[in-house]
A = this chain, B = another copy of it.
Amino acid sequence: MDTVAAEPFTISDIERAAGRIAGHAVLTPLLGSLALDRIAGRRLLLKAEPLQRTGSFKFRGAFNRIAMIPEAERARGVIAFSSGNHAQGVAAAAALHGIPATIVMPSDAPAIKRRSTEAWGATVVPYDRATGDREALTATIAAETGATIVRPYDDHGVMAGQGTIGLEIADQCAALGVRPDAVIVCCGGGGLIAGTSTALADRLPGVPVYAAEPAGFDDTRRSLESGHREENDPGARTICDGLMAPRPGALTFAVNRRRLSGGFAVDDDRVRAAMAVAFEHLKLVLEPSGAVALAAALDPTTLPQAGTLVCVATGGNVDAELYRSALDA
């Protein structure tokens, strides 16, 4: 379901998105801790999107995209497919716009994510991750109902909403009097990092932006190296359930190939350790997918010359059982 962009993606898209989400999305804090800096051996600042509405950055993109639907089409609602956080973001953004939402969700998604999506009044349609075709199912329902499809990443409206994080990082660094040596962003399909890197190229030109991905799902890292979109091994597994996209998006990679300086692959043990560090030193709950950038930044072999790093922590929607196991590691 590749999408063709009619227009280039620019900072103006992100600035307009910032205007649309203002007063609806949380301006999340940029957290730091001297104790954390001692552990890391450098200054780390963490953009705390677990404190965003619905517990992840996905609300930003969903709200912006839905706000762009023409008035005449809104009553037919929206439909999305998602392993969870995008689902909650779409469900909440639709509810706040007063329109119905249908979410096609893998039947093995974390219970907390399904529960939270339904709590926003959305209709959840489960599918089997191994045998089902979520894109075909979504397209069929959309054709029947006339609902607008809100893609998880490969859409300029979604990318622009996520990119508002880059505008906020630049403002918050300026308020602290800090110029980061690099920014590391958790990366699945690449929408967040496409938006964030575009915003940062405008607001903090020259600051490199890197993707952090789970080991086995480092398609963006490998695609940046090869110059074209690489696939992940279908047999790969990770606890980072939100970052299991099979390949970079077409629209996102068109941006990311120009904007990004590289990527890092992080194994699940480092992800669990980063969750425990955020618990002890930031008092912030991170889900595995949300901890990948922090895990990369905590690795001393990552950008060893960088004295100050900003990481985007993308979400905190994690089942209690998995969280308990991360604290036990």
Interface residues of A (CB under 8 A from B): 26, 28-29, 31, 33-35, 38, 48, 50-51, 53, 55, 92, 112, 116, 119-120, 276, 279-280, 282-286, 316-317, 320, 323-324, 327-328
Contacts and interface: CB of A to CB of B under 8 A. Distances in A.
Number of copies of this chain in the oligomer?
Answer: 2
A165 B317 CA distance: 28
Nearest to A31: B51
A50 B324 CA distance: 19
B51 A280 contact: no
B285 A283 contact: yes
Contact of A35 (B34, B38, B119, B276): B119
Given A35-B119, A283-B285, A283-B316, 16 more contacts: A26-B29, A28-B29, A29-B29, A31-B51, A33-B53, A48-B51, A51-B282, A51-B283, A51-B284, A112-B280, A279-B285, A283-B284, A283-B286, A320-B328, A323-B327, A324-B327
Contact of A320 (B279, B283, B285): B279
Contacts of A327: 320, 323-324
A320 B284 contact: no
A276 B280 CA distance: 16
A276 B51 contact: no
A68 to B, nearest CB: 23
**The 4 residue pairs across chains A and B that have the minimum distance between CB atoms:** A283-B316, A50-B283, A283-B285, A320-B327
18 contacts: A28-B29, A34-B53, A35-B116, A38-B119, A48-B51, A50-B283, A51-B283, A51-B284, A55-B283, A112-B280, A276-B320, A283-B286, A283-B317, A285-B285, A320-B327, A323-B327, A324-B324, A324-B328
A55 B281 CA distance: 8
Nearest to A328: B324
Contacts of A28: 29
A47 to B, nearest CB: 13
Contacts of A29: 26, 28-29, 51
A320 B119 contact: no
Contacts of A55: 283
A292 to B, nearest CB: 16
A328 B35 CA distance: 28
A286 B286 CA distance: 14
Given A35-B119, A119-B35, A285-B285, A323 B51 contact: no
A328 B327 CA distance: 13
A309 to B, nearest CB: 19
Contacts of A284: 51, 283-285
A317 B281 CA distance: 9
A288 to B, nearest CB: 14
Nearest to A325: B324
